[in-house]
């Protein structure tokens, strides 16, 4: 049974997932190697709770109880929990290294979940002790708002681990969907063309960024592709395209867009860096 949750990586996703865990009543630890990111996460979580108070969704007392359940930590030795959810950079070697460090700090039956958008859970678990405890737990952005969680079963993930994570998602008031490990899982594979085709349209001079977004929103999408990429983070979105491109043997349909590669190289990562396809006041 899960009683404590540790989230690793206090960026866009990790800060949201930690809030979801604390709202679910769990003792929650949020770890990052970068102290500035921990401060930013605390500010973002407080702002989120203030918003819920202003909408009368929770009381000030509830908000302070939720916030006090989160421990912000910068020492990996304190990353001990029944469930550890990593939300660090989208890089397989970094995730494997992290899980191996966490294996030294935790019991063999602690569950290791990855929030990866596109990396293979089966590949990750091959390099981690007790691979049966490794599972994909793919939240969507923003994690406190979006209900869907893809629970991804790798080749060696045990049924009891995927079931425990599935049940936990329900307890967290999310909508879990079990799926097999495959490049991009379901949502990111289908949605890839929303981003890639939109960038091709702009690169080919067919329509502007603003017009593509306006047209897609007018057809009923909640957010145009460029606004959505800015929210996701251009670096993260690019890594997902690259993973799918690699996994599908350089299939042209998943080829990363030059305009996105260029933005990422210049540090224009979207909302989180203040500049992406649009400019933001941070």
Quote the CA–CA distance of 142 and 229 in Å, as a whole number: 13
What count of other Cβ atoms lies within 10 Å of the Cβ of residue 82? 19
Clarify whether 130 is annotated catalytic: no
**Contact flag: residue 243 with ligand NAD (CB under 6 A):** no
The long-range contacts involving 11-14, CB below 8 angstroms and separated by at least 24 positions, are 11/37, 11/41, 11/87, 11/88, 11/233, 11/272, 12/141, 12/142, 12/232, 12/233, 12/236, 12/272, 13/87, 13/115, 13/139, 13/141, 13/143, 14/41, 14/85, 14/87, 14/88, 14/115
**Contact flag: residue 34 with ligand NAD (CB under 6 A):** yes
Write down the catalytic residue from 106, 138, 237, 239: 138
Q: Say which DSSP state 257 is in.
A: P
**Contact flag: residue 242 with ligand NAD (CB under 6 A):** no
Among residues 2, 5, 13, 196, the one that binds ligand NAD under rule CB under 6 A: 13
Q: How far is CA 164 from CA 134, 158, 169, 268, in A?
A: 12, 10, 9, 39
Interface segment toward ligand NAD; rule CB under 6 A; list 67-75, 139-147, 158-166, 215-223: 139-147
**Contact flag: residue 272 with ligand NAD (CB under 6 A):** yes
Number of residues lying near ligand NAD (CB under 6 A): 29
Clarify whether 115 is annotated catalytic: no
Question: Is the torsion defined by CA of 189, 193, 195, 199 positive or negative?
Answer: positive
Clarify whether 217 is annotated catalytic: no
**Contact flag: residue 37 with ligand NAD (CB under 6 A):** yes
Among residues 106, 115, 162, 260, the one that binds ligand NAD under rule CB under 6 A: 115
Write down the catalytic residue from 114, 120, 150, 273: 150
In the complex, the smallest distance separating the C-beta of residue 101 from ligand NAD, rounded to whole angstroms, is: 8
Helix (H, G, I), strand (E, B), or coil: what is residue 81? coil
**Contact flag: residue 100 with ligand NAD (CB under 6 A):** no
Among residues 74, 123, 141, 156, the one that binds ligand NAD under rule CB under 6 A: 141
Clarify whether 34 is annotated catalytic: no
Catalytic positions are 117, 138, 150, 188
- Which residues form the interface with ligand NAD (CB under 6 A)? 8-14, 31-34, 37, 87-90, 94, 98, 115-117, 138-141, 232-233, 236, 272
């Amino acid at each position: 049974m899960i009683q404590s949750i540790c989230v690793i990586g206090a960026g866009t996703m990790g800060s949201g997932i930690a809030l979801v865990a604390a709202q679910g009543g769990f003792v929650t630890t949020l770890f990052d190697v970068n102290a500035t990111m921990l401060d930013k996460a605390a500010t973002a979580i407080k702002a989120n709770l203030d918003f819920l108070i202003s909408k009368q969704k929770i009381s000030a007392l509830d908000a302070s109880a939720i916030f006090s359940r989160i421990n912000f930590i910068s020492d990996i030795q304190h990353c001990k929990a029944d469930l550890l959810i990593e939300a660090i950079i989208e890089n397989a070697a970094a995730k494997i290294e992290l899980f191996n460090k966490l294996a030294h700090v935790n019991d063999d039956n602690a569950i290791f979940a990855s929030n990866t958008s596109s990396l293979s859970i089966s590949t990750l678990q091959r390099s981690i002790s007790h691979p049966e405890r490794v599972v994909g737990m793919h939240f969507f952005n923003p994690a406190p708002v979006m209900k869907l969680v893809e629970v991804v079963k790798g080749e060696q993930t045990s049924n009891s681990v995927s079931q425990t994570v599935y049940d936990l998602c329900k307890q967290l008031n999310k909508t879990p969907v079990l799926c097999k490990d495959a490049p991009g899982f379901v949502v990111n594979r289908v949605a890839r063309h929303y981003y890639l085709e939109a960038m091709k349209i702009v690169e080919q001079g067919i329509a502007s960024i603003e017009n593509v977004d306006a047209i897609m929103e007018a057809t009923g999408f909640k957010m145009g592709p460029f606004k959505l990429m800015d929210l996701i983070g251009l670096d993260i979105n690019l890594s997902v395209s690259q993973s799918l491109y690699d996994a599908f043997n350089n299939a042209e349909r998943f080829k990363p867009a030059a305009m996105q590669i260029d933005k990422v190289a210049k540090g224009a990562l979207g909302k989180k860096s203040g500049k992406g396809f649009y400019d933001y006041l941070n």
